[in-house]
């Protein structure tokens, strides 16, 4: 996200308080992987989730967020789409848009293998958010047993089974709007804890249940003291090489036109 801020604001100084604040999902794919996929599926447009590094965005045709992923996919109007790198978001989008998805695998020799004998309209990647993949259907059943009137909201980085067992799926902003516009005795938020805290803070009058053993270790790297030091000592400055920034900007800007 720090790189995305720099991609969109090249003349501004963008700081990241901790260099350890990575992301399992962003680390799941490299620019080389995207180039290999494009070579394997020539001419197929690449949609990339914003939780990726700048050089991966630079290899992509358009970016998406968890809130607009289906709209971005449908906006392309092509028969086939490469959707990277979140496996669960891709499966959820495929289900929402009625597409069949395949997931190429790496052979021991490093080549990509894809089972193209079966029908497919989307090509995914096996990236996962290490936080959202922890939610499961048993969690939902347990909470429903204790709170039969609970309304369950799942982030689309959760598995399709968890999304299907929930009452609503959407981005953090969509969750905030959903809770604002509905009245339920309890809500359960299946999302990263600090993201869930944002939804709860926006709806102080609503009762939130959360499974908050699930915190992102990467986001947790950034503390208030580190943020202070970052501003005091101008550290750590995010830089994106200009040739990568310009190509990544195109993919992000194209998404912003869709909203």
Contact status: 23 vs ligand SF4 (CB under 6 A): yes
Rg over CA atoms, the chain: 19
Nearer to ligand SF4 (CB atom), residue 41 or residue 129: 129
Contact status: 226 vs ligand SF4 (CB under 6 A): no
Strand order in the sheet with 122-123: 62-64, 46-49, 81-84, 122-123, 101-102
Size, binding site for ligand SF4 by CB under 6 A: 11
Cβ proximity of 52 and 62 under 8 Å:
no
Nearer to ligand SF4 (CB atom), residue 6 or residue 132: 132
- Can you tell me the distance from the alpha carbon of 132 to that of 166, in angstroms, rounded to the nearest whole number? 14
Give min distance, CB of 231 to ligand SF4, in A. 22
Q: List the one residue from 192, 200, 211, 245 that touches ligand SF4 (CB under 6 A).
A: 192
Q: List the one residue from 18, 51, 65, 169 that touches ligand SF4 (CB under 6 A).
A: 51
Nearer to ligand SF4 (CB atom), residue 55 or residue 192: 192
- Can you tell me the distance from the alpha carbon of 10 to that of 72, in angstroms, rounded to the nearest whole number? 25
DSSP strand pairing (186-190 vs 208-210)? parallel
Report the alpha-carbon angle 54-59-61, nearest 5: 105
Within 120-179, which residues bind ligand SF4 (CB under 6 A)?
Answer: 129-131
Q: List the one residue from 57, 91, 99, 218 that touches ligand SF4 (CB under 6 A).
A: 218
Which residues of this protein are in contact with ligand SF4, per CB under 6 A? Answer: 23-25, 51, 129-131, 192, 216, 218-219
């Amino acid at each position: 996200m720090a790189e995305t801020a720099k991609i969109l604001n090249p003349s501004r100084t963008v700081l990241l308080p901790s260099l350890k604040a990575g992301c399992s999902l962003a680390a799941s794919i490299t620019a080389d992987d995207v180039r290999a996929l494009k070579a394997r599926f020539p001419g197929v447009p690449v949609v990339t989730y914003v939780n990726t590094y700048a050089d991966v965005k630079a290899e992509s045709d358009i970016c998406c967020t968890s809130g607009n992923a289906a709209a971005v996919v449908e906006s392309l109007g092509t028969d086939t789409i490469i959707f990277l790198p979140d496996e669960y978001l891709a499966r959820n989008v495929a289900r929402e848009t009625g597409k069949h998805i395949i997931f190429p695998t790496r052979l021991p020799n490093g080549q990509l293998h894809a089972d193209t004998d079966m029908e497919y309209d989307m090509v995914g990647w096996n990236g996962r958010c290490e936080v959202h993949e922890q939610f499961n259907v048993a969690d939902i059943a347990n909470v429903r047993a204790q709170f039969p009137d609970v309304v369950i909201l799942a982030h689309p980085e959760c598995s399709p089974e968890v999304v299907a067992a929930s009452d609503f799926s959407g981005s953090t902003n969509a969750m905030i709007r959903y809770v604002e516009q509905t009245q339920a005795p309890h809500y359960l938020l299946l999302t990263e804890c600090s993201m869930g805290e944002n939804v709860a803070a926006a709806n102080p009058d609503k009762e939130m249940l959360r499974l908050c053993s699930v915190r992102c270790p990467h986001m947790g790297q950034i503390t208030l003291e580190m943020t202070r030091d970052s501003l005091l000592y101008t550290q750590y400055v995010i830089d994106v090489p200009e040739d990568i920034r310009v190509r990544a900007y195109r993919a992000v800007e194209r998404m912003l036109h869709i909203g």
